[in-house]
Chain A
Amino acid sequence: MAALWTPSLLLSACLLGCLGLTPLTELPQPHNQPTSLGFNSSDGSLFVDVPMALRVFSVDYHHVQAPFEIVLWIMLASLAKLGFHWSGRVPAVVPESCLLIMVGLLVGGVIYGVRHSAPPTLSADAFFLFLLPPIVLDAGYFLPGRLFFENLGTILWYAVLGTLWNVLGIGLSLYGVCVLAQSSLGDVSLLHCLLFGSLIAAVDPVAVLSVFQEMHVNEQLHILVFGESLLNDAVTVVLYKLFESFLRLPSVSGLDVLLGGCRVVVVGLGGLFVGLFFGLVAALTSRFTSRAQVIAPLFVFLYSYLSYLTSEMLHLSGIMAIVTCAVTMKQYVEANVSERSNTSIQYFLKMWSSVSETLIFIFLGVSTIQDVHMWSWPFVCSTLLLCLVWRATGVLLLTAVVNKLRRNAVTFRDQFIIAYGGLRGAICFSLVFLIDDFPKKRLFITTTIVVILFTVFVQGMTIKPLVELLDVKRKKRALPTVSEEIHSRLIDLLLAGIEDVVGYWGQHYWKDKFEQFNRKYLRRFLIREDHQARSSILRVYQELERREQRGDEEAPPPLVDPRSHSRPLLPEEMDSIRRILSRNLQNFNNKQTPAYSRHTLHQDATIDKTRRPLHIQQSLGYTYNTITHWSQVMNASKHTVCSISPRPTLQDSSVPAASAQAGPVDPKSSAAREDQVSPQHQVPVGRAPKKQLSFVLENEKQQ
């Protein structure tokens, strides 16, 4: 679809023309201060010069300049994104971030060519206050909670220790390089190197997300890399500010270093608590939005943004605050708020984060076109090399330790992806601009840009082929037979089941405690009365429907075709069988689908959990007792809603306490249920039953 490139390019060119044709006079800006985004000052407006008469037609650009330019940039970003998705095979090879940076380079070059001065750069304030929060909020809201908390120890391990390792390693080695190259780099002090190390070592969530989008890794790996990139913000920010304040101090004592260590903890935990507070308040507010459903989504955004701003104000970790806020309020808000509001929230989050990300990458490209770059071969090359080396060794060492404590070991392939997928992005870029001025600041800026471009382009583009290479190499050793595949998956499931039976003390102990606390206090307080019961009944009803449908499917005896007994299977059939098995059987433990998707609303991700076929106790034959028991429960209409204690999650609620009265089995409803049992395989989760249920509930409500 290369043909569609041309119109989008043409449109972009028109937009650029508008940008370029803005009045050419601008106040000269000192280079050291980042010029703010697109805010050119101009002398006056253009008028059609008709002296002394009524102006029929006039152009007053000055009046609308600021919003107009902002809109133009956003429009450019969105059109570029559209063009990217229509461009056929390109997305498979080149990640979106690379293309966007290239567009940015192009635009920057055009602007430079037209104006002969540096194009507007990304101001740190605009980035941190406006562009970063939507992305992090989106990531936090769609974070797969259970997976995240299961791997929290590992993630923290990588984030805190790994970042420390990287920062100190890179900083010290760079200082060594500077000492070695005394002639050109002699005036870069140790503290400067450490400062630079602290900002260049941080893995960037935006870049990581955009690359992992196209790479289908399993959930666990995804959450490890992504969680690390989110949580290392605390460490990065603290170290950066620490070294910066050290630079301003006349001397640094051991006490200062110790205080710095305390600061890390304070910043991280402080951000966490701020986020928790705002999350709970948001959940509570959403409880009362039933009469003004349209503004319910607004509260989600406002509270999250407020948490971010508050923690930034207190010099705490804003990213941690907003992520915590999102994670906290999600379950309560989803229960409290109507379906449509939920969809709106999700959609808006996706939209804003998408636009934000696109803008960031484009501006990265634009800002690369600068007037003055300072280049130094040893510094730049050694930085690149050191980043890779230190990250690789850090990941290897940390994983060796952490594998002993983990249930699912982090394999070598995973380690490679973690190490190689540590992309740097716009956070480094903004941080480097905020450094106080010193002679070699330009060098730092140039190096940062080079590192970012290198990681995004080279690492971003090659990580997918490399991973496939690694996979293929291992696969060639032996193709397992079908029986082995089936059996190994069975063993996986069996072990998972046994672990569930035994009760996994390390993690689930606290999880169970939290769930109890959640159920007893938080949910009662934060979720609307009638919504508590409805959600659980709805889920149980769906579960029953599904059980019935599964029961029906197994009823017709499988027709064994005696002819097929002796027919050997063709290799194509063998391959297709293998493909089916690996695709489907892996879905339980090692999901290949990304838990977080940038471009689509993964509705399946949340609904899937309730849709998985549930085979509880079918072979034991007492299902029918349960069903009739439940039908009694359902039909004791008025009393049903109140008497069932809230059972929040599907996981805990397979058999509720026998609190229902024994009413007569209503023949009408069970007959109606039978009608809806669909005979075909491809089972939709019954939409008809849902309607019936809501009808029943509505009846109850009207009483």
Chain B
Amino acid sequence: MGSSSSSMDHIPNAEELMQETGFSAAHLLRLYERFEFLDKDQTGELRPEDFGAIGGLALNPIGDRIISAFFSPGQETVDFPSFVRVLAHFRPNGTNRTRNGTQQEPVNSRTRKLKFAFQLYDQDRDGKISRAELLQVLRAMLGIQVTEEQLQSIAERAIQEADLDRDDAISFDEFKKVQQVSPHPQTPTKETPLHPTEGGR
């Protein structure tokens, strides 16, 4: 897919990004090409409309939340480093490389993924999932087939299970605790598209 060395020059701060996120050069190049593909008007930054043009995302019930997760609060655009940083959460586990031996938690650890998922619920970024926010997510996922009372009771039950300090909201720690018993929230096979050797399947 073209020589990597010349195109890597287009990517600003490639080395730092690779270190920070753990992506390999080939991965990074792929992501850059994807970024450029999404960036229809070539401004070097992505706006919400660019994300909106992605087919499958439009049909995804939480598509808009995923899109907003890419944007830091208050920002209107996403540049390439931020784009990559967000995607680094989902990097395949097998290629963990800490270059300089720092003991920081790898970017794609389970906690980071949970934090990302937590932010999908917690739209106002106050660190807690309130009942209203949970209801919104449920409504989005369950669509129109479920009545309001059923939604309320489902949200009720979810909060009951998770909320340990009785503040009628789920904090990140409570969220983590509830998810302790569930299996690891991603399968490595899902991330094989980021593997550079794929041409077809």
Interface residues of A (CB under 8 A from B): 153, 403-409, 480-484, 486-491, 493-507, 510, 553-554, 557-558, 560-561, 564-565, 568-569, 573-574, 576-577, 580-581, 584-585, 587-588, 609, 612-620, 622, 649-652, 654-655, 681-683
Q: Do B201 and A405 touch (CB < 8 A)?
A: yes
How far apart sit A494 and B119, CA to CA, in the bound complex (Å)? 12
Highest count of chain A CB atoms <10 Å: which of B34, B51, B141:
B141
6 inter-chain pairs at a CB distance below 8 angstroms, sorted by A residue, are: A407-B190, A484-B181, A487-B178, A494-B117, A506-B201, A564-B153
Once A584-B142, A620-B48, A655-B52 are accepted as A-B contacts, the answer to whether A484 and B182 lie under 8 Å apart by CB is yes
User: Closest approach, in angstroms, between the C-beta of A514 and any C-beta of chain B?
Assistant: 13
Q: Could you tell me which residues of chain B, from 126 to 163, have a CB within 8 Å of some CB in chain A? A: 131-132, 135-148, 150, 152-154, 156-158, 160-162
Residues of chain B contacted by A612 (CB below 8 angstroms): 59, 61, 143
- A-B CB contacts (within 8 Å), total count: 214
How far apart sit A411 and B103, CA to CA, in the bound complex (Å)? 37
Which of A481, A497, A503, A585 meets B37, CB within 8 Å? A503
User: Closest approach, in angstroms, between the C-beta of B46 and any C-beta of chain A?
Assistant: 10
Once A613-B144, A622-B48 are accepted as A-B contacts, the answer to whether A495 and B63 lie under 8 Å apart by CB is no
Which of A487, A502, A504, A577 meets B157, CB within 8 Å? A577
B53 at the interface (CB under 8 A from A): yes
B194 at the interface (CB under 8 A from A): yes
Q: Do A506 and B48 touch (CB < 8 A)?
A: no
How far apart sit A557 and B52, CA to CA, in the bound complex (Å)? 27
Residues of chain B contacted by A500 (CB below 8 angstroms): 54-57, 60
Once A495-B90, A651-B55 are accepted as A-B contacts, the answer to whether A505 and B61 lie under 8 Å apart by CB is no
Residues of chain B contacted by A498 (CB below 8 angstroms): 66, 87, 90
Residues of chain A contacted by B193 (CB below 8 angstroms): 407, 499, 502-506
Q: Do B201 and A507 touch (CB < 8 A)?
A: yes
How far apart sit A652 and B50, CA to CA, in the bound complex (Å)? 11
B12 at the interface (CB under 8 A from A): no
Q: State the interface size on chain B (CB cutoff 8 A).
A: 77
How far apart sit A565 and B163, CA to CA, in the bound complex (Å)? 11
B165 at the interface (CB under 8 A from A): no
Which of B48, B64, B153, B179 meets A487, CB within 8 Å? B179
B79 at the interface (CB under 8 A from A): no
CB-nearest residue of chain B to A656: B53
Q: Do A488 and B185 touch (CB < 8 A)?
A: yes
How far apart sit A97 and B11, CA to CA, in the bound complex (Å)? 62
Which of A405, A493, A499, A617 meets B190, CB within 8 Å? A499
What would 6 more interface pairs be, CB under 8 Å, given A481-B161, A560-B132? A573-B157, A577-B157, A580-B146, A615-B61, A615-B62, A681-B144
B105 at the interface (CB under 8 A from A): no
How far apart sit A295 and B54, CA to CA, in the bound complex (Å)? 39
Q: Do A490 and B63 touch (CB < 8 A)?
A: no
B101 at the interface (CB under 8 A from A): no
Closest 10 CB pairs of A and B: A651-B55, A500-B56, A497-B66, A506-B201, A491-B185, A654-B58, A484-B182, A483-B158, A500-B57, A506-B198
Residues of chain B contacted by A620 (CB below 8 angstroms): 48, 64, 67-68, 71
B164 at the interface (CB under 8 A from A): no
Q: Do A505 and B198 touch (CB < 8 A)?
A: yes
How far apart sit A498 and B57, CA to CA, in the bound complex (Å)? 8
Q: Do B152 and A501 touch (CB < 8 A)?
A: no
Once A558-B132, A580-B150, A615-B140 are accepted as A-B contacts, the answer to whether A480 and B61 lie under 8 Å apart by CB is no
How far apart sit A666 and B31, CA to CA, in the bound complex (Å)? 42
CB-nearest residue of chain B to A620: B48
How far apart sit A576 and B153, CA to CA, in the bound complex (Å)? 10
B98 at the interface (CB under 8 A from A): no
Q: Do B190 and A495 touch (CB < 8 A)?
A: yes
Q: Do A483 and B153 touch (CB < 8 A)?
A: no
Q: Could you tell me which residues of chain B, from 38 to 91, have a CB within 8 Å of some CB in chain A? A: 38, 48-49, 51-68, 70-71, 87, 90
Residues of chain A contacted by B200 (CB below 8 angstroms): 153, 506-507, 510
